[in-house]
Amino acid sequence: MEKMHIKMTVNGKNVDLLTEPRTLLIHALREELGITGPHVGCSSSHCGACTIDMNGMSVKSCSVFAAQADGAEITTIEGLGTPDALHVLQEMFKEHHGLQCGYCTPGMITRAYRLLQENPTPTEEEVRFGIAGNLCRCTGYQNIVKAILEAATKMNEMKESA
Ligand code: FES
Ligand code: FES
């Protein structure tokens, strides 16, 4: 199959990818660009393990062709924080034990990031509704919700003191 050029910005870097039109975005990210934070869970847009941020929206990258991301601005968990400088959401997930196996975590945190961009002061119910497309098999969600609410408070305090 003839390959096509796709240009996108991934975690602040310009990327020029030569791939087949049938390549799914999750596979382009993981296998062609080595960005392995987003995971493959269900491959059918149910679990949210593959969630990325694309053009300011949470997107399940198993349900999008890489070709559809041509010209897009993409952020994955790798673009939110680093091991030495965790994002507040990552810190709060760590502090409140919002993860166990961690398989859902990159997608969950990337989704929570967009949720807090859209609604910086969510209620518990809004957080639960906001992450409804991201499944976690381990935690029972309680600590995830706690971590996101605490991250919201901390992010708002940081904004006020800036
Ligand atoms: S792998 Fe994409 S939603 Fe499950
Ligand atoms: S921590 Fe295991 S699936 Fe969420």
Its sign, for the CA torsion 113, 115, 118, 121, is negative
Please tell me the predicted confidence (pLDDT) of residue 54: 98
Domain's final residue, options 51, 79, 107? 79
Cα 20 from Cα 148, distance rounded (Å): 38
Please tell me the predicted confidence (pLDDT) of residue 162: 84
User: Domain of 54?
Assistant: 4-79
Question: How is residue 37 written in tokens?
Answer: 């934070």
Cα 64 from Cα 76, distance rounded (Å): 15
**Contacts of 53 by beta carbon, 8 Å cutoff, 6+ apart:** 59, 74, 75, 76, 110, 113, 114
Report the separation in Å between the CA atom of 60 and the middle of ligand 1, taken as the mean of its atom positions: 6
Report the separation in Å between the CA atom of 62 and the middle of ligand 1, taken as the mean of its atom positions: 5
**Contacts of 102 by beta carbon, 8 Å cutoff, 6+ apart:** none
What pLDDT, in 10s, does the model give residues 18-46?
Answer: 999 999 999 999 999 999 999 999 999 99
CATH code of residue 142: 1.10.150.120
Amino acid, single-letter form, for residue 162: A
Please tell me the predicted confidence (pLDDT) of residue 117: 98
Ligand 2 atom closest to the Cα of residue 137 is: 3
Residue 48's closest CA among 34, 62, 35, 37?
A: 62
Nearest CA to ligand 1 atom 3: 45
Does the structure show a pLDDT above 90 at 1?
no
Residues of the chain with pLDDT > 70: what percent? Answer: 100
Cα 48 from Cα 87, distance rounded (Å): 20
**Ligand having the closest approach to the CA of 138:** 2
Residue listed under structure tokens 């989704």: 111
> Quick one: 101 and 122 in the same domain?
yes
Question: Once rounded to an integer, what is the mean pLDDT over residues 86-101?
Answer: 98
**Ligand 1 and 29: CB distance under 6 A:** no
**Ligand 1 and 49: CB distance under 6 A:** yes
What pLDDT, in 10s, does the model give residues 114-147?
Answer: 999 999 999 999 999 999 999 999 999 999 999 9
What pLDDT, in 10s, does the model give residues 35-77?
Answer: 999 999 999 999 999 999 999 999 999 999 999 999 999 999 9
> Quick one: 91 and 23 in the same domain?
no
Residues with CB under 6 A from ligand 2: 99-105, 136-139
Residue listed under structure tokens 């502090």: 95
Report the separation in Å between the CA atom of 7 and the middle of ligand 2, taken as the mean of its atom positions: 32
Please tell me the predicted confidence (pLDDT) of residue 116: 98
Question: Once rounded to an integer, what is the mean pLDDT over residues 78-102?
Answer: 97
Cα 70 from Cα 15, distance rounded (Å): 10
**Ligand 1 and 135: CB distance under 6 A:** no
How many structural domains are present in the chain?
A: 2
pTM (2 decimals)? Answer: 0.97
Report the separation in Å between the CA atom of 70 and the middle of ligand 2, taken as the mean of its atom positions: 31
* Confidence class for position 158, pLDDT limits 50, 70, 90: very high
**Contacts of 49 by beta carbon, 8 Å cutoff, 6+ apart:** 38, 39, 40, 41, 42, 103, 104, 106, 107, 134, 135
Does the structure show a pLDDT above 90 at 96?
yes
> Quick one: 105 and 149 in the same domain?
yes
> Quick one: 46 and 106 in the same domain?
no
Cα 36 from Cα 151, distance rounded (Å): 24
